[in-house]
Homo-oligomer: A and B are copies of this chain.
Amino acid sequence: MSVLNDAARAAISSANLAHLVTLNADGSPQLSAVWVGMDGDDVVSGHMGDRQKLRNVRRDPRVAFSMQTGVVNAMGLAEYLVVRGTGQVVEGDAAALLQRLAHVHIGPDAKFPPGENHPMGLILRITPERVSGIGPWANT
């Protein structure tokens, strides 16, 4: 069974930005915000070119991301989901993935990335291993 329950999958599939951490060569944390979606039981993001976070994942696959869902609980605290897992960088149709995520994050008419005939890009696949945060994320 995936560590992601239906609520976590729904949060990841919605217009919530993932604050993604990877590890630099010196072990320090590298943070950036990315669009993510589900692909089977993996969490995926699309990248048209190589980036520091992807080089980091190739060297050390330990990643984590945190996202807010916009829900505030009865105590007034903002709900958020943290996922820890193992990342893998693979070649793939990053433009098609980005276009799918742009429809979620920008809107149904969004065209992203701009232009046509995009080359193959890179996909970051994260296999979730542990969830935490504030919200209904625990598998029961």
Q: A19-B66, A66-B19, A68-B68 are in contact. Are A33 and B78 (CB under 8 A)?
A: yes
Shortest Cβ gap from A37 to chain B (Å): 16
Report the interface size for chain A: residues with CB under 8 A from the other chain. Answer: 33
**30 CB < 8 A contacts A-B:** A17-B68, A17-B80, A19-B19, A19-B31, A21-B29, A21-B31, A21-B64, A22-B29, A23-B27, A23-B29, A27-B60, A27-B62, A28-B84, A29-B84, A31-B64, A31-B65, A31-B66, A31-B82, A31-B84, A32-B133, A33-B66, A33-B68, A33-B133, A66-B66, A68-B68, A76-B105, A76-B106, A76-B107, A76-B110, A76-B112
